[in-house]
Amino acid sequence: MDNTTSQSQEKQSDIPQRGAVPVKDQVSIPPVNPKTAQNIPAKEVEEFKYQPKPKINLKKTLKVVVSVISFLIILVPLLFIFLKYNPFKNKGVSTKRGEIVWWSLGIDEVVAKKMVADYLKDNPKAKINLIVESEIDYGERLLNSLKDGKGPDVFTIHNSWVPMMAEQLDPMPANVYSQEEYSKSYYSVVSKDFKTTEGIVGIPLEYDALTLFVNEDIFSRSGKTYPKTWDEFATLADELTLKDGKGFILQSGAALGITQNVDYWQEIIALLLLENKSNLFSPNTNPTVEQTSFEALLSFADYYSTAKVWNSSLPSSTTAFADGKAVMIFAPAKAAREIKKISPNLKFRTIIVPQVRKNDPNEPDVSYATYWAQAVWRKSGDKELAWDFLKYLASDGSYEKMQSYYKELGIPPPASPKVSQREKLTNDRVLGSVVALAPIATSWYLADKTYDGPKGINTSVNAAYKKTIDAVSLTRRRDKIVLLKTLSSELKKGLFTFGITH
């Protein structure tokens, strides 16, 4: 073999075969800094020394575990206490079955507590959290709490609030009252107020209506008899008014004529309109209704603008009556509590509200109801307990207990809403006039002192009527067509928001 062939074979052997890996590429040698490589022994560069993993420190680990367990032992009870007694938790929420929250308004706190205690004697496993509510914007606060899903389970509502709260009210179960039993047990106005397409949604523990308070001593001294008609009332209001030489009212014969300081002017207007066969929702329905509606409003305003038996310088009508500065006032029977509180020794009674002259003597009288009831929240955690509690409160025995508790406290009690109790109250000096007309009473949304809030149904209706009455009494406007058309328009607009169209 010649040299040329030998050299050619050597060159070919240096060329890697396809797919083969050069031997020098099979070992990964870390790069060496050329500046320091000469000072590092080769053995130290290439040799790898094994470093064993650090051992677990049992003492430190045990300390951490103990600390965590101790923290949990402290945290869990604190968390339990916070969840149970959380001060930020809404007071209206019941957390478990066998426990309900009751928002009460209008019932004396001592009486309410005794009624709860009486129920718990027979139901020791139940728990009822009584909360006596403030009057300030009560209706708005209640509705917002229910809409937010915060309860309460049982709550007080005015008889005119059903359209405002319909979505939150639980229909009463048949084992509490069937609709037939309810209609027979309660006055017809109660059935009308609380019957809905879904069922009955409220149980009243009282009944009340507008009545006429009279000062017995002044009537006795004057030799006057109590009025039965509005004509007689107007004459007495004038004759019993006393003024000084400058025309200042020393004693008002009757407190009405303006809205500023006449308590329950709303109910008085409703009564006058109903007696004049007006339409409260649309007082300008036709020319005849328009005329009678305006006459009713004018008859109210004239006590201020023409007869001048009342003015804005006097205190509120209830206070004026209690102080002996007003001989007659209109108010629900519950006003007797405030009057008694102001003047415990004042001698007074109530009589049936005056009626308009009737062409037909058989035509029934008119009465306007305004009262409170109890309802159950549709989303209550224990509706069975809530309704059972109300069934107990609504029993005849419970009402008699309630009467006795009020009398023990020296507070005038409310009338019963039940037909069966009516005869027992006919001779009562305060409640007799209220129950006398209860079977034929009616109701609507004109109502004072319901505390329904700035967006409530009563506030809306009252505002529309107030604007009209003030125009008639204070500025003596007599353009009835414009006034009543505006009133009807505002009423329809306001009530439409509550689903009321007639």
Q: What are phi and psi of 433, to 5 degrees?
A: -70, -30
CA distances (Å), origin 275, targets 78, 243, 286, 297: 65, 31, 17, 12
* pLDDT attached to residue 449: 98
- The CATH class, in words, for 210-366+454-496 is alpha beta
Give the type of residue at 174: A
Other residues' Cβ atoms within 10 Å of the Cβ of residue 368: 29
Ranges of the chain with pLDDT below 70: 1-61, 65-66, 70, 76-96
Residue-wise pLDDT for 84-126, tens only, equals 444 444 455 555 689 999 999 999 999 999 999 999 999 999 9
- pTM flag (> 0.85): no
Q: What is the model's pLDDT at position 52?
A: 56
In terms of residues, how long is the chain? 502
Q: What is the pLDDT of residues 50-71, one digit of tens each?
A: 555 555 566 666 777 667 776 7
pLDDT of residue 477: 87
- Residue 80 has what pLDDT? 54
Q: So where are the chain's domains?
A: 99-207+371-421, 210-366+454-496
Chain center to CA of 119: 24
Q: Under a CB-based contact definition with an 8 Å cutoff, are residues 249 and 243 in contact?
A: yes
Coil, strand or helix at 358: coil
Separation CA 161–CA 444 (nearest Å) = 10
Superfamily of domain 99-207+371-421, CATH level 4: Periplasmic binding protein-like II (3.40.190.10)
Contact 495, 445 (CB under 8 A): yes
How many Å apart are CA 243 and CA 232, to the nearest integer?
Answer: 21
**What is the model's pLDDT at position 34?**
47
Mean of pLDDT over the chain: 88
296-330: b or e for each residue (b if 16 or more CB lie within 10 Å)? bbbbbbbbbbebbbbbeebebbbbbbbeebbbbbb
Strands 210-215 and 348-351: antiparallel
Could you check whether 99-207+371-421 and 210-366+454-496 share the same CATH topology?
yes
